[in-house]
Amino acid sequence: MKYAYFPGCSVEASAHEYGMSCMAVNKVLGIELIEIPDWNCCGSIDAVHAYNPELSLSLSARNFSLAETMNMDIVTLCSACFFTLSRASKMLHEDPNLKGAVDKIINAAGLKFTGDVKIRHYLDVLINDVGPLKIAEKVKVPLKGLKVAPYYGCLLVRPPQVRSFDDPEHPKSMDRIIEAVGAQSLDYRDKTRCCGASLVLTDESVMLEMTKDLLLSAKAIGADCIVTPCPMCHFNLDAKQKAVENRFDLKIDMPILYFTQLMGIAFGLNPKELGLGRNVVSLEKILHKLETPIQLTAKA
C-alpha cells in the first residue's frame, strides 16, 4: 500500500513524535508513505485563507499538482491539513472561476492541477485499507485493562460536506483501533468538541477553559489516557496541561498520546522509536499498568 505523503508543518516540528510513531507503525503494517517532493504549507486553515483566499488555495493546489505526478492518494496525519486540503479541493472543483484564478498562479510556476487527486487522513487508511483485524494480528503487547478516551477534535470529521470518512457526530474509527490493540475505548460526550485550537495564540484564557473541560470530562469517565490524531489538539491537551492545572488549581495528570503511539506500544515497538520521551505529561503510569510493563528508559 503506497500513498503520497503530505507531512505538514506541525508533524515536521512540534509534533515530530507523531510522524516518528506513524513511520514505525507503517513498517509493521506494510504501509509506504512516499513524501511529496518539495511540498509546502497547506495554506494554514483560516489564517491565510481569511487574508488572501486565492493565495491559500494556490498553496494547496501546488501540493495537489506535485502529488498528481505520483498517481497516488494524498495522505496526511494532521487534522488541520486534512481539512484545509479537502476544503481547497472541494472549492476548486465547484467553482470554475476560482480554479481559473488559481491555475494562473500555479501555471506561472510551471505547474498544473487537473483535480484528479484524493485527500485522505491516515486514520482513514488504517480503518478502510488496512482494517482492525490486521491491526489486531500485529499486537504483541495487548493493552488489556487500559481505559482510553479517544479525542477526535472538531476538524477531522467535520464538516461532512467537505469530506469525511466517519460519522461527524459519533465517530468510531479511532475507537475501533483502540479496541483492536486490546484496550478499552471509552465513549464520552466531548470526543468531538473543540479544544480551543489556535486560540492559544490569540486568547489563551479561552483555550485553557475549553481544554480544561475536555481533560476533566475524560478524567470523570475513568480514562487512563487520551489519544488524538491532531497535532494542535495534542499540544493543547499535553503541553498546555500544566498551564490548565495552574490556572484552575487542579491536579489532572492525564497522559496524552497520538493514536499511532498507542498502536506502536501494542506492537511492541521501542519507546524511543515512537517518540514517547517527547510527550510532556509523563506516560510512566500507563506503561507500568500494562500486563507487560514498558520502561521509558531514554528520551527520544
pLDDT tens by residue, 75-86 = 999 999 999 999
- Please tell me the predicted confidence (pLDDT) of residue 295: 77
Tens of pLDDT, residue by residue over 198-249, are 888 889 999 999 999 999 999 999 999 999 999 999 999 999 999 999 999 9
The cell numbers describing 225, all together, are 489516557
Residue at which a domain ends, from 121, 147, 169: 121
Q: 102 with 184, same domain?
A: no
Residue 218 lies inside a defined structural domain of this protein: yes
Residue 45: what pLDDT? 61
Residues pairing with 226 in the sheet:
149, 256
What's the pLDDT band for 47 if we cut at 50, 70, 90? low
Same domain membership, residue 104 and residue 204: no
Residues 187 and 279 in one domain: yes
> How many domains does the structure of the chain reveal?
2
Q: pLDDT category, 294, cuts 50, 70, 90?
A: confident
Mean of pLDDT values over 256-281? 97
Which CATH number covers residue 85?
Answer: 1.20.1050.140
Q: Note whether 52 and 157 are same-domain residues.
A: no
DSSP 70: T
Could you tell me if residue 65 is inside a domain?
A: yes
Q: Is the pLDDT of residue 50 over 80?
A: no
Both 138 and 21 in one domain: the answer is no
Do 7 and 36 reside in the same domain of the chain? Answer: yes
User: How many CA atoms are closer than 13 Å to the CA of 189, on its beta-carbon side?
Assistant: 4
Contact of 6 with 42, CB cutoff 8 Å: yes
In a shared domain, residues 270 and 142: yes
Q: For residue 218, what is the domain's CATH number? A: 3.40.50.11810
pLDDT in tens, 127-163: 999 999 999 999 999 999 999 999 999 989 988 888 7
Average pLDDT, the chain: 93
Give residue 44's Cα distance to chain centre.
15
pLDDT band at 299 (very low <50, low <70, confident <90, very high): very low
**Residue corresponding to grid cell 515497538:** 269
Both 156 and 188 in one domain: the answer is yes
What pLDDT shows up at residue 55? 86
Quote the domain boundaries for residue 36.
2-121
